[in-house]
Amino acid sequence: VTAGGTRAPIDPVRFIGNRSSGRMGIALAAAAARRGAEVTLIAANVSLPEPAGVRRVDVETAAQLAAAAEAEFPETDVLLMAAAPADFRAAAVNDGKLARRDGLELRLEPTEDILASLAAVKTGSQTVVGFAAEHGGDAIGRARSKRSRKSADMIVLNDVSDPAIGFESADNAVTLIDSEGEIEVPIAAVALGATVIEKH
């Protein structure tokens, strides 16, 4: 299970990142462990503790997340890619802290597509589940396209335009999208140390 959000450094102090807290990934790791799975949590800048019995690997950047996931993947039955890797990084990282008075002109380049890279080499006995944080509009259509484009077995869609279930919320609701269609999972409490325990 991957969780959290990666950081792409601009200089030793500043970075490009996102608002992912890692709560969903930790809840998934806890649920898998409760079902008897041997779980590794690859945590990208996650301040929350890992569930009991779960092995944790801490990473910071998208490149580190990619390397950790690639190292674990050959022995993995199910990969849940709940982390939110930064899509872009600075083309050049400054060695020293940039001064405000000097301004900032930032050129970006794309990071690795970790989900697509791993799904491309999965075996018939492996299952790859991706996650999509979408913001309104045709969220299901975009998530369906992402599943197909990246060859994932399933995409879990989060519509983060709803503040009740957005970033860092204690509640969540998702839509599971696979080759056969969609299943809506209604709003529920995200339990970090166990499976979901409440429904509204």
Contacts 24+ apart (CB under 8 A), 113-119: 113/150, 114/62, 114/65, 114/66, 114/69, 114/81, 114/85, 115/81, 115/150, 115/152, 116/149, 116/150, 116/151, 117/66, 117/70, 118/69, 118/70, 118/73, 118/79, 118/81, 119/150, 119/151, 119/152, 119/153
* 94 is annotated as an active-site residue: no
Residue of 18, 45, 158, 172 with catalytic role: 18
Catalytic sites, residue numbers: 18
